Chain A
Amino acid sequence: MAGRLERDTLELLTKEDERYRLRRMGFFRDVRDEAALVASQFPPEEGEDFHQWKSRCLREYYRFKGFGMFCRERLLNPEFEGTVESIFKRHLRNMFETSERTDTDKYLAPDSDTVSFALEPDLFQELYTLNFSSMPSFGNTAELDRFCHQITSASFPVKEPAVVKGMQDNKNFYWEKFYLKLKPITAAFCYQMSGISGENNTHDIWSDTCISVNSAVVDRRMKEPVTAKDIISYSIGVLKNKNKEIARSRAKSPADIDTLQYKLTAEDEEKYFNNPVTKPENFPSQEKGLANYIDYTDKDSVQGYFIVILYNKEHPLHDILVKGYEDKVQKMFEHYIDGLSYEEIVARHSGAKEGREQVKECARLRQEIKRLKKSLYDRYTKMLEDYR
């Protein structure tokens, strides 16, 4: 029973650490020591169910450790700020997933992404300074979490004029998302109007369009007040003109150009706007593309999702990730997950070896795993861009 209690407290605190980065903030050093402390000091009381015990023991643990004072002393600590930012982002993702798509997102964000519920760096600094400069008292992480939830609920979605202003101020955060939005639209228009397909062929048109739209917005050449719809309409106009130029240069008689249809067919829309890889039926979380699932600006999120794809053989991207490396991945799992030493793995796969031969094989395996890690992560990085 005592063993089970320690396992439970270890799991609670491990999750608290993963969620609130407690070790990184310096709240504790060793999660096992803390788990032993919680198990000995705050065991379940009679008649208390798991939920009640979890809530009480964490509350008392944080009070015992002085979490409120700990936070107050870390107002200017980048790690604490990073934790608050990650809590904000988690709440924003929930808000995004449970809210109706805003018009701003419809016109300015890629299909799986958002600008209305996105934490632009300057906006975060503004919110952090405003709400945390007179650090409120938090008894525990749940209270900190609730406080962040209140702030995000009151401040988001970001109003359309604020996003447009950000674009006029040339904030990369918004422009990067908008450029991604334009990519499939460019592909569709090029195919429809000029018969050009393939990323290599449409890339120049896309980048030219991005530059044109950016300069029009940033140089304030669009008629005020500029709305999200104005920006996307201007972009479509640029795309149409570019495609007309291409068509004109090819057409035998200029009159043919005006008969071109600008409206996408259902078939093209399916082909260019819905990537089947990002819509696997057996993995609903994947429905809206990786950007919906991964916070690209957060290292923990990116690394965590890599592990989910690598470990989960049912994940639709697993086969793409490990293709050609299956045997090596198996050996790596044996080393990292099963805890086998290189000698044991060599013995398991190539039979017992001794002396120099064994040392050589182990060194080779170590190098193999090291190279494999790099290859897999490089492949994952490319996938992040492809399925964003």
Chain B
Amino acid sequence: MLKGHLDIKTLSDYFLNRLSPQEETEVQEHLSSCPECTSALNAMRRLKEGFFEDDSAAPARRPVLFRIMRSGWTKAAAAVIIVAGLGIFTYETVRNRDNVIEQHQIQQGRGLENQVFAIDTFDKEDSIYYREKYGDDFLNVDSF
């Protein structure tokens, strides 16, 4: 059994698992009856635990962009934007639907008007020209 107190080198080597199994057992036998050395060893263990395991227990600090992406405020803002976007989209769709119908009706009407307009703008010379070329049916627009 080791006499006196363990020197700091032996204690450090024991702490770092650098002793042979035989030496390790001798140190353990000494620790069994030496509160001072046990206290020094436990101090190193507590220091290691406090120094490193505080950090490992807490989640590692993420990069700024990651934290912004995962923050509650970002999620809330995203939700507001999505809801507002959906609202605007729905409103615009309904409004456009009315417009589309209206436009369709206008288009339908415009087709007739154009036909009438086309006939109205024929002058006398045109009439003679088309009459000679196509006969009396030239006024029937569907035949063009």
Q: Is A137 an interface residue (CB 8 A)?
A: no
Please, which residue of chain A has its CB at the minimum distance from the CB of B13? A285
How far apart are A312's CB and chain B's nearest CB, in angstroms?
A: 5
Q: Which of A242-299 contact B (CB under 8 A)?
A: 283-285
Q: Which of B28-71 contact A (CB under 8 A)?
A: 28-29, 31-32, 38, 43-52, 55
B48 touches A307 (CB 8 A): yes
Query: Looking at the complex, which one of A8, A90, A315 makes contact with B17 (CB distance below 8 Å)?
Result: A90
- Residues A314 and B8 in contact in the complex (CB < 8 Å), given A12-B28, A50-B25: yes
B16 touches A308 (CB 8 A): yes
Residues 110-148 of A, flagged 1 when their CB comes within 8 A of B and 0 if not, give: 000000000000000000000000000000001001000
Query: Looking at the complex, which one of A284, A312, A315, A336 makes contact with B46 (CB distance below 8 Å)?
Result: A336
Identify whether the interface residues of A are mostly helix, strand, loop, or mixed.
helix
> Counting chain B CB atoms within 10 Å of each CB, which of A14, A15, A90 scores highest?
A15
How far apart are B36's CB and chain A's nearest CB, in angstroms?
A: 14
Measured in the bound complex, the distance between the Cα atoms of B9 and A219 in whole Å is: 47
Q: Which of B1-19 contact A (CB under 8 A)?
A: 1, 8-9, 12-18
Number of interface residues of B (CB under 8 A): 30
Which residues of chain B come closer than 8 Å to A336, judged between CB atoms?
46-47, 49-51
B17 touches A284 (CB 8 A): no
- Residues A305 and B46 in contact in the complex (CB < 8 Å), given A7-B32, A54-B25: no
Which residues of chain B come closer than 8 Å to A311, judged between CB atoms?
43-44, 47
- Residues A304 and B24 in contact in the complex (CB < 8 Å), given A8-B32, A336-B51: no
Which residues of chain B come closer than 8 Å to A15, judged between CB atoms?
14, 17, 24, 28
Q: Is B21 an interface residue (CB 8 A)?
A: yes
A337 touches B46 (CB 8 A): yes
B28 touches A308 (CB 8 A): no
Range of interface residues on A (Cβ < 8 Å)? 35 or more
B28 touches A11 (CB 8 A): yes
Identify whether the interface residues of B are mostly helix, strand, loop, or mixed.
helix
B32 touches A304 (CB 8 A): no
Please, which residue of chain B has its CB at the minimum distance from the CB of A145? B21
How far apart are B28's CB and chain A's nearest CB, in angstroms?
A: 6
Residues 59-95 of A, flagged 1 when their CB comes within 8 A of B and 0 if not, give: 0000000000000000000000000000000100110
Which residues of chain A come closer than 8 Å to B52, judged between CB atoms?
303
Which residues of chain B come closer than 8 Å to A325, judged between CB atoms?
none
B21 touches A142 (CB 8 A): yes
> Counting chain B CB atoms within 10 Å of each CB, which of A145, A307, A310 scores highest?
A307
How far apart are A148's CB and chain B's nearest CB, in angstroms?
A: 13
Measured in the bound complex, the distance between the Cα atoms of B113 and A261 in whole Å is: 109
B43 touches A18 (CB 8 A): no
B16 touches A337 (CB 8 A): no
Q: Is A240 an interface residue (CB 8 A)?
A: no
Which residues of chain A come closer than 8 Å to B32, judged between CB atoms?
4, 7-8, 11, 50
A51 touches B29 (CB 8 A): yes
Q: Is A333 an interface residue (CB 8 A)?
A: yes
Residues 314-352 of A, flagged 1 when their CB comes within 8 A of B and 0 if not, give: 110000000000000000010111010000000000000
B48 touches A303 (CB 8 A): yes
B47 touches A307 (CB 8 A): yes
A307 touches B44 (CB 8 A): yes
Query: Looking at the complex, which one of A93, A303, A312, A337 makes contact with B8 (CB distance below 8 Å)?
Result: A312
B29 touches A50 (CB 8 A): yes
How far apart are A355's CB and chain B's nearest CB, in angstroms?
A: 27
Which residues of chain A come closer than 8 Å to B20, judged between CB atoms?
94
Query: Looking at the complex, which one of B16, B31, B44, B51 makes contact with A373 (CB distance below 8 Å)?
Result: B51
B28 touches A307 (CB 8 A): no
Which residues of chain A come closer than 8 Å to B1, judged between CB atoms?
50
Q: B interface vs A, CB < 8 Å?
A: 1, 8-9, 12-18, 20-21, 24-25, 28-29, 31-32, 38, 43-52, 55
29 pairs, CB–CB < 8 Å, chain A vs chain B = A7-B32, A7-B38, A8-B32, A11-B28, A12-B28, A15-B24, A18-B17, A50-B1, A50-B25, A50-B28, A50-B32, A54-B25, A90-B17, A145-B21, A285-B12, A303-B52, A304-B48, A307-B44, A307-B47, A310-B51, A311-B43, A311-B47, A312-B8, A315-B8, A335-B50, A336-B47, A337-B50, A373-B51, A373-B55
Top 9 nearest A-B pairs by Cβ distance?
A336-B50, A50-B29, A308-B12, A337-B43, A307-B48, A304-B16, A8-B32, A19-B17, A311-B44
New A-B contacts (6) at CB < 8 Å, excluding given A145-B21, A308-B44, A312-B8 = A15-B24, A15-B28, A307-B51, A310-B51, A311-B47, A337-B46
